[in-house]
Structure 1
Amino acid sequence: MATRKAPAAYDEDTPRGFAFALVAYLLWGFLPFYMKAVSHIPAVEVVAHRVVWSVPIAAVVLILLGRTQDIRAAFRSPRTMGMALITAGLITVNWSIYVWSIAAGRAIETALGYYINPLFSIFLGAILLRESLDGRQKAAIALAVAAVGILAWESGGVPWVSVGLALSWGFYAFFKKSLPVGPNQGFFLEVLILTVPALGFIIYTEINGTGHFGDTGPADMLLLMGCGVVTAVPLMIYANGAKLLRLSTIGIMQYIAPTMIFFIAVFAFKEPFGPYKLAAFVLIWIALAIYTSSLLRSRRARQAAAAATAVNPPG
């Protein structure tokens, strides 16, 4: 299959794109309430149902979009399937940490992990893609490292929930860029690859009596089936919104979900928030403010360059 060229960064924000992205981030922001509702179910089982019930939703979306031929072409490409296998593994790790951390009363660490993620992504780009970093980006990364260090000092070990979420999502996004299919098609491939082990695990738990789908009442059954909706719908809404927004706008909007998770953790879940966590979050918020200023400065520079080119076209 011919490799699809990555689309150019969108040069203008659209109301439709903003609305799509906002809805997606709000849904992700409220997701901890849903994960808390299934916190009595083992995280592995919840993730298995997230996978299985996402498949029909993703399939219907592709049929409505008329993009099923992309999936058939992907099956004939070992490279595409190999990359999808990698991204499927990474998203499984990310979902597993997320589901477990909410159930374990560590939503604050979850919020911190997703705050760190954009900073880790630019660090990853500098290391693996040799992208240059300006002074503000370096300062933001340094502050994020300091924040992780404070939490490590407090807990006596690496804050693995925050670090694990940032690493798994950062590498997922990195490899996702190399997947030569659209985001909706890529998501379908990922959950389709994961369906066999997920179904196997669900069947095993139901046979040995430890499963929660058929034996613990209709409430658990509906909650587990709903895992597909809360997983697939925000991802696909976001995928369509991101195409209609500037990268810098997306970079700023991605703070919405972790901010909501933070307030839910502190005020709804009543998780402890001592001075060390406060210091870590202050450093992260400062880092994100610096990172945002770098994004905005880069956007203004591109706009100025485009305006100069329009006034004085080459040649």
Structure 2
Amino acid sequence: MTPLRLGYLYGIGAYLLWGFFPLYFKLLRPTGPLEILAHRIVWSVLFVALLLGALRNVGFLRALLRRRWAVAGIVAAAALIAVNWGTYIYGVSSNRVVETALGYFINPLVVVLLGVTVLRERLRPAQWVALGIGGSAVAVLAVDYGRLPWLALTLAFSFAGYGLIKKRLGLPAAEGLFVESAVLALPALGYLAWLSRHAGLTFGHVSAGHTALLVLAGAATAIPLLLFAGAANRLPLTGLGMIQYLAPILQLACGVLIFHEPMPPARLAGFALVWLALIVFTADAVNQSRRTRAHTRATATEAPVPTP
């Protein structure tokens, strides 16, 4: 199997798992969002620690701790991913799966926005058009909801910020997830201990299947991230960008078709504007990639041939 085909298999696997996350989190009832988040953190640490131990890759911690700026970045990334995970779990638990899907639909546009505001990048005209359409979509959805879609915006901005920090740090997927989860593990364990002391802990008190599902939260978190890392290392950016919409499409389908969440005409119009913005954004990215490849080939052709 070629690396490109393997990359697409890894990427599709990751986004399929993320796309069906609402079904998994619904199975964790009656556990509350904060307890689910705490279990997700704790079991992620244990799962990835076992994985790194099996790979005999534990020496990276010593080198990492010597980079103070990296440690500060990891703490910031851990805080953002905790906000993202907690917001998503809350959205699913409160029957707002459609709004969580919206967050991941607009995430690529927020990434572009952060590129302008934080990295001072210059946008191409089509990217400005996509941002304008995306802003109009948020306005339409705010009118429909009677408020800003804050849950979707929180998901989009927290994940975009997390991705920005991760790009700067350049940590491998497993090592990065282990350190981020380890940073959050102490507060998570403290919260679980507090719940247990006040008779609010559901872990071990519902059923054996429910307890097993909570334990599997670590694997459910780590496996898609590892698959995504494998895809990112093998696929061009445009290929990865095209398949990233698979997850929110599946999440939206879960919300509307399985959980029967409402999709009134105004909300559908807002989503249609989001999809239009993503079409403009993706088409521009594909065209830019083609122009870059053509320029690279032309430059290689025009280069002088060395003589012996």
TM-score range (shorter-chain normalised) is over 0.9
Q: Give 1:223 shift.
A: 1.7
CA RMSD of aligned residues (A): 1.5
- Residue number in structure 1 paired with 2:61: 71
Aligned match for 1:297, one of 287, 293, 302: 287
- Residue number in structure 1 paired with 2:88: 98
AA partner of residue 249 (structure 2): T
> C-alpha separation between the residues in 2 aligned to 1:29 and 1:64?
29
User: CA-to-partner distance for each residue in 1:237-285, whole Å, 9 max, x for gaps?
Assistant: 1112211111111111110000000111110110000011100110011
User: CA-to-partner distance for each residue in 1:56-77, whole Å, 9 max, x for gaps?
Assistant: 2212332344432212211232
Q: TM-score, normalised by structure 1?
A: 0.93
- Residue number in structure 1 paired with 2:253: 263
On the 8 A contact 2:231/2:240 being kept in 1, the answer is no
- Residue number in structure 2 paired with 1:80: 70
> C-alpha separation between the residues in 2 aligned to 1:241 and 1:66?
23
- Residue number in structure 2 paired with 1:170: 160
Gaps of 5+ in 2: none
Aligned match for 2:244, one of 234, 254, 257: 254
1:266-277 matches, within 5 Å, as 266-277=256-267
> C-alpha separation between the residues in 1 aligned to 2:38 and 2:144?
33
> C-alpha separation between the residues in 2 aligned to 1:16 and 1:56?
28
> C-alpha separation between the residues in 2 aligned to 1:58 and 1:291?
35
On the 8 A contact 2:107/2:156 being kept in 1, the answer is yes
On the 8 A contact 2:103/2:154 being kept in 1, the answer is yes
- Residue number in structure 1 paired with 2:219: 229
- Residue number in structure 2 paired with 1:8: none
On the 8 A contact 2:33/2:86 being kept in 1, the answer is yes
SS at match of 2:168: coil
> C-alpha separation between the residues in 2 aligned to 1:308 and 1:171?
36
1:128 aligns with 2:118: yes
AA partner of residue 292 (structure 2): R
- Residue number in structure 2 paired with 1:18: 8
On the 8 A contact 1:70/1:181 being kept in 2, the answer is no
AA partner of residue 32 (structure 2): P
On the 8 A contact 1:212/1:220 being kept in 2, the answer is no
Stretch of structure 1 that moved more, 260-269 or 77-86? 77-86
> C-alpha separation between the residues in 1 aligned to 2:11 and 2:156?
20
SS at match of 1:96: helix
Q: TM-score, normalised by structure 2?
A: 0.95
On the 8 A contact 2:30/2:202 being kept in 1, the answer is no
AA partner of residue 181 (structure 1): L
- Residue number in structure 2 paired with 1:153: 143
Q: Give 1:291 shift.
A: 0.7
1:309 aligns with 2:303: no
Count of aligned positions:
304
Stretch of structure 1 that moved more, 275-284 or 171-180? 171-180
Gaps of 5+ in 1: 1-11
> C-alpha separation between the residues in 2 aligned to 1:195 and 1:60?
16
- Residue number in structure 1 paired with 2:36: 46
> C-alpha separation between the residues in 1 aligned to 2:236 and 2:170?
21
1:199 aligns with 2:189: yes
